[in-house]
Amino acid sequence: METVLITVGKKVDKEKIYSQAVDLLNQGEVVAFPTETVYGLGAVATDDEAVKKIYEAKGRPSDNPLIVHIGTIEEVSDYVEEVPEKAKKLMERFWPGPLTLIMKAKPDVLAKSVTAGLPTVGIRMPDHEVALELLRTLKKPLAAPSANRSGKPSPTKAEHVYEDLKGRIPLILDGGTTGIGIESTVLDVTVDPPVILRPGGVTKEMLEAEIGEVAAPSLKEQQLESTPKAPGMKYTHYAPEAPVYLIERNREKIEKTVRELQNKGHRVALLAPSNYASIPADYFFPFGEEEDRKQMAANLYDALRACDKTDATIILATTTSTEGVGAAIMNRLHKAAGGKFI
Ligand code: TXA
Ligand code: MG
């Protein structure tokens, strides 16, 4: 299959581009599109055959459910049994935006493979012009996981999608680099207090300011949990080819570790804030400025993917505080490193 990549940008023939994408989706095909978090791989969420193509293209285990994307808040009641009061407040405040709400699914409305057999469904309204225009032209919900091969870092650029899925999907809508850079916060509102199943762009602090107490498992608990509530969290994730190790942000320690590894014959890639550039690693990928966690989030996956383009044999990534979006960054880094510290 030939994979076509179309830049949406400010073109005048935008309508033609959207109708091409909508035609493919209505024919049961999959299409990759940008959101404000990462690129998604979409299929019509009521078409079981189409949704199965997502799992196939990604090589995704079939017990890992997909997020349903909608273009308007009103639609949510078409797909869920009830919208809890707290969920209503959160939608008003954070949609469109990087917050996925897990609610009780209406039976037999969405394709079976969307929910992977669970009685619940995750829904969000993305905050991206291209995603919203696509949804509103299609007038149907889109089931969409991140548009990477399963286990790889999520795509923050159309080129990342192309690298992973070329020959496997017919169309990628290129809307440039995604803004936030890590996936949406997944919040289970079927329980009280609601539980964060995956930290993301909408932080615990932001949620609590709106609805009061929100539970969030610590990094340790996330690792120890043998049957995580978000099925996706149990797989190795976000991982480049070379092994990743986490390291404290301590200049002397990093310098010493880099030297020791090089003496053992390693080629070291270092992911760290830009002011660590003088450390003599073999490759350096800046995350952003020190303490600028928004920038770190935006650069993280591109940096992990860039490591794959080098001949580095080991990757060191510096840790950050778990304040604000730092919780999501550390969650992803932990997964990428398989919990390994040096
Ligand atoms: O930002 C995002 O959320 C991106 C963009 C494309 O919207 N999508 C995304 O999807 O990250 P995906 O499939 O890569 O991650 C969805 C996560 C998985 O960890 C999955 O297990 C969890 O959400 N999830 C989905 N439905 C669920 C449900 N009913 N109950 C619990 N967890 C669910
Ligand atoms: Mg994913």
Q: Measured over all CA atoms, what is the biggest interatomic distance in the chain, rounded to whole angstroms?
A: 61
Cβ atoms within 10 Å of 292's Cβ, excluding its own: 15
Cα 7 to middle of ligand 2, angstroms: 23
Same domain membership, residue 179 and residue 255: no
In contact, 152 and 235? CB cutoff 8 Å? no
Mutational test site, ligand 1, from 183, 202, 300, max ligand atoms within 8 Å of CB: 183
In a domain, 233, yes or no: no
State the Cα–Cα distance between residues 37 and 156, nearest whole angstrom. 8
Domain boundary (226, 260, 289) is at: 226
Let me know whether 179 and 265 are in one domain. Answer: no
199 in contact with ligand 1, CB cutoff 6 A: no
Structural domain count of the chain? 2
- Give tens-digit pLDDT for 194-251: 999 999 999 999 999 999 999 998 777 766 554 456 666 655 556 667 899 999 999 9
Ligand 1 centre distance from Cα of residue 233 (Å): 9
The secondary structure of 208-240 as a DSSP string is HHHHS--B---HHHHHH-SS-SSGGGGS--S--
Residue 30 CA to its chain's centroid (Å) = 18
Ligand nearest to the CA of 196: 1
**For the chain, percent of residues with pLDDT exceeding 90:** 85
Q: Based on the domain organization, do 207 and 79 belong to the same domain? A: yes
Query: ipTM higher than 0.95?
Result: yes
When pLDDT is averaged across residues 247-269 and rounded to a whole number, the result is: 97
Both tokens assigned to 74: 């009103």
Residue 31 lies in a domain: yes
Q: 90: closest CA among 202, 182, 179? A: 202
* Residue 42, token pair as written in the block: 């979409």
Bond preceding residue 193 cis, omega within 30 of 0: yes
In short, whether 233's Cβ falls inside 6 Å of ligand 1 is: yes
CATH code at position 313: 3.40.50.11030
> In angstroms, what is the span from residue 333 Cα to ligand 1's centroid?
17
Same domain membership, residue 120 and residue 17:
yes
Residue 237 lies in a domain: no
**211 shares a domain with 65:** yes
Shared-domain flag, residues 204 and 253: no
CA separation for the pair 317, 224 (Å, rounded): 22
Closest CA to 91 of 74, 78, 79: 74
203 annotated to a ligand binding site:
no
The CATH number given to whatever domain includes residue 56 is 3.90.870.10
- Model pTM score: 0.94
Q: What is the pLDDT of residue 226?
A: 46
Ligand nearest to the CA of 148: 2
- Looking at the fold, whether 278 and 149 belong to one and the same domain comes out as no
Q: What is the mean pLDDT of residues 64-89?
A: 97
Residue ending a domain, choose from 195, 226, 257: 226
Are 257 and 152 contained in the same domain? no
Domain assignment of residue 314, given as a range: 244-337
- The confidence band for 308, taking pLDDT boundaries of 50, 70 and 90, is confident
Cα separation, 138 vs 135, in Å, equals 5
Considering the chain, what is the average pLDDT of its residues? 93
Mutate to test the pocket of ligand 1, among 123, 186, 196 (most ligand atoms within 8 A of CB): 186
